[in-house]
Structure 1
Amino acid sequence: MVRQTSGRGPSMADVAREAGVSGQTVSRVANGKSNVDHATRERVLAAMRRVGYRPNSAARALRNGHFRNIGVIMSTAPAFGNSRTLNAIAAAVVAKGFSIVLMPVSQPSQGEVTGAFNRLNEEAVDGVIILIEQHQLDESDIELPNGLPVVVIDSSARYDYPVVDTDQAEGAASATQHLLDLGHQTVWHIAGPPESYSAERRLKSWRATLERAGRVVPPVMTGDWSAQSGYDHGLRLPDEVTAVFAANDQMALGLLRALHEKGRAVPGDVSVVGFDDMEEAAYFWPPLTTVRQSFETVGHDAVAALLAEIADERKGASAVTVPTSLIIRSSTAPPQNP
């Protein structure tokens, strides 16, 4: 085994001697080149492990122009959609041979966002995906630093960067219209928190759908995405209500329990629609009619847009909207007394 010279780490030359190959072959393996046969690559990688060699990402970036690291600035506020989207981003990043550097922020203020960008610069990233749902991201005092390719997920597209989002309006409209088409006179709504882009878009689309149909728009019930808030609103739901669209599946779950405790059958007395199509939605009782959004597609499209920016150094706003689909299960039915 190669012994390291005192005062320095193992070099490519050390690896080459250990593996019995040329320095050029070691360089190709270290830089992820494809023109090395499998057996040789495995021999070089084994030699790297034995001598303790780690490829220098900064030096590699100087040679290749990229660090092959993607940064993600993400709100620490718990949200089912954000966690699913992050998983999709990570899978897409790894599939492209990049690594992911996560930078959480508790409050998306100018100081936190700027600090996150600065820390990501220290981590040597090629670009940044911003996954912050709250409205603070669009406040006038939030300015995103220049110098890095950026893609924003779930925002108002005010920024001069690509924006990727689910078609929230389409999903809410299909949920509301489904209940009207079943014969319900109107649809009540449990909205998400007001600081959420998604909640705001779903609420506006629910209201617009009722207004287009000439129906009464009930007062909005505002939740916080939790099953508890859906449950609390369900206990207070007036007895004359026959249809409810909850802005996410977790609030719909709490609503289902409250209706059960009140002795109101679903869908016999009240039809319920959710939003997200989380894996458990098909196993609620009754199985939940809901709007499916593809977090996988959002994550994949965000990574694709960022890599295109990195490769072509293109700037400028563009919007990618991912469609939704209504998944009809057993929690909705025509009203018993229309």
Structure 2
Amino acid sequence: MADVAQRAGVSSQTVSRVANGHPGVVESTREQVLTAMQELGYRPNSAARALKRGDFRTLGIILFGLSTTGNVYTLEAIATSAAQHGYATTLLPVAVPTQSQVRGAFTRLGELAVDAIIVIMEVHLLDAATVSLPPHVGVVVADSDADDQYSVVDTDQAGGAREAVRHLLELGHKTVWHLAGPVESFAAQRRADAWRATLREAGREVPEPLRGDWSADSGYRAGLRLAAEPGCTAVFAANDQMALGLLRALHESGRTVPDQVSVVGFDDIPDSASYVPPLTTVHQDFVEVGRLCVEGAMRQIRSNAGERGRTLVPTRMVIRQSTAPPPPAR
């Protein structure tokens, strides 16, 4: 900085103001300093600036798994929104969702110096991990259930599932089978609970749900079992990837969609419109979830205080060609 100041013929304080983007610098002086910086190859030391300001302009992200579509899109939205605020992101995937892995991720983020942390995983792991957060580091949790312990941004899981089931019942199906997600998943549990409650409210039979692991392979395996159920005319799959495997299993088993079996997914991933047939599904706004996570983190950073409460992002039905009235009773 002293070298730049000497080359530009200004004080070190002026160099500092230019480096930090301070508006109170005469434009001609700013140009002199920027030219000197370029000639000398000077770059501000971000670590030193962070220590001086007391902030690092970095958000930490902890998540379990990059294999699910929802996590990938949410992560992309968080990174994009953070960049718009002038913040970098540090990602720490947790390979195995255990208490020790989560605790280690928080420890590493503390060492890397972040201003707030966004968690994309089941929050019970966070609660049980006895993590020690640095002072004034806010936490925002995406798509999980944190009660009143943290700020939560979540898709309206229950509302979306209710819409899916009602759509099938309104088409005339007597009941709706369910291909659920993993039992440890908050989102899967909320969708399954809403499916069950909607059928009971309508006075319909509640079939035993089948479970997958969010993958198309698990949807295919469950689909082979559902194809063998002669009374199965409608299925609500807890995500679009499992619905894809389900469609393949029904096709291979000679059960046509939607003439014999209607299928609804959840997510509305871009590929779902190209399934055969194009998939009726529940659209969830991953971009909005990611944006609201960053907004929540920004509020906590500005106020230097934690935040509680839940923000629900609405869903909407996207009707395509995978649903129709049930076949005539024989």
Whether the TM-score (by the shorter chain) exceeds 0.5 is yes
Aligned to 2:93: 104
Secondary structure, counterpart of 1:102 in structure 2: strand
Matches within 5 A, 1:149-168: 149-158=138-147, 160-168=149-157
CA distance in 1, matches of 2:171, 2:34: 62
Q: Displacement of 1:45 after TM fit?
A: 5.5
Matches within 5 A, 1:77-96: 78-96=67-85
CA distance in 2, matches of 1:336, 1:45: 74
User: CA separation of 1:235/1:314 partners in 2, compared to 1, >3 Å: closer, same or farther?
Assistant: same
Aligned to 1:245: 236
Which shifted more, 67-76 or 55-64?
55-64
CA distance in 1, matches of 2:24, 2:328: 72
Aligned to 1:180: 169
User: CA separation of 1:194/1:255 partners in 2, compared to 1, >3 Å: closer, same or farther?
Assistant: same
Aligned to 1:136: 125
Matches within 5 A, 1:301-320: 301-320=292-311
Q: After superposition, give the CA deviation of every residue in 1:137-166 in whole Å (9 maximum; x if it has no partner).
A: 45xx32342422111112212352211111
CA distance in 2, matches of 1:153, 1:247: 18
Contact 1:152 1:161 in 2 (8 A): yes
Matches within 5 A, 1:241-280: 241-280=232-271
Contact 2:102 2:125 in 1 (8 A): no
Secondary structure, counterpart of 1:27 in structure 2: helix
Q: After superposition, give the CA deviation of every residue in 1:24-74 in whole Å (9 maximum; x if it has no partner).
A: 453234224455689987875665455343322233224333111111111
The answer to whether structure 1 residue 236 and structure 2 residue 225 are counterparts is: yes
Contact 1:108 1:137 in 2 (8 A): no
Q: Displacement of 1:75 after TM fit?
A: 1.3
- When normalised by structure 2's length, the TM-score is 0.90
Secondary structure, counterpart of 2:300 in structure 1: helix
Q: Displacement of 1:102 after TM fit?
A: 1.0
CA distance in 2, matches of 1:185, 1:165: 31
CA distance in 2, matches of 1:47, 1:289: 60
CA distance in 1, matches of 2:55, 2:262: 53
Contact 1:135 1:196 in 2 (8 A): no
Aligned AA for 2:3?
Answer: D
Which shifted more, 306-315 or 51-60?
51-60
Gaps in structure 2 of 5+ consecutive residues: none
Q: Displacement of 1:20 after TM fit?
A: 6.4
User: CA separation of 1:109/1:262 partners in 2, compared to 1, >3 Å: closer, same or farther?
Assistant: closer
User: CA separation of 1:332/1:33 partners in 2, compared to 1, >3 Å: closer, same or farther?
Assistant: farther
User: CA separation of 1:46/1:202 partners in 2, compared to 1, >3 Å: closer, same or farther?
Assistant: farther
CA distance in 1, matches of 2:281, 2:170: 15
Q: Displacement of 1:230 after TM fit?
A: 0.9
Matches within 5 A, 1:4-43: 12-18=1-7, 23-34=12-23
Contact 2:99 2:125 in 1 (8 A): no
Q: After superposition, give the CA deviation of every residue in 1:167-211 in whole Å (9 maximum; x if it has no partner).
A: 110111100110001100000111111111111111111111101
Which shifted more, 287-296 or 60-69?
60-69
Aligned residues: CA RMSD: 2.3
Q: Displacement of 1:23 after TM fit?
A: 3.8
Aligned to 2:279: 288
Secondary structure, counterpart of 1:290 in structure 2: strand
Contact 1:202 1:247 in 2 (8 A): yes
Percent identity of paired positions between Structure 1 and Structure 2: 56
The answer to whether structure 1 residue 226 and structure 2 residue 202 are counterparts is: no
Aligned to 1:116: 105
Contact 1:134 1:195 in 2 (8 A): no
Aligned to 1:3: none
Contact 2:64 2:121 in 1 (8 A): yes
User: CA separation of 1:97/1:149 partners in 2, compared to 1, >3 Å: closer, same or farther?
Assistant: same
Secondary structure, counterpart of 1:55 in structure 2: coil
- How many aligned residue pairs are there? 325
Q: After superposition, give the CA deviation of every residue in 1:66-89 in whole Å (9 maximum; x if it has no partner).
A: 111111111136221111111110
Aligned to 2:178: 189
Q: After superposition, give the CA deviation of every residue in 1:239-278 in whole Å (9 maximum; x if it has no partner).
A: 2211000000011111111111122211111111000000
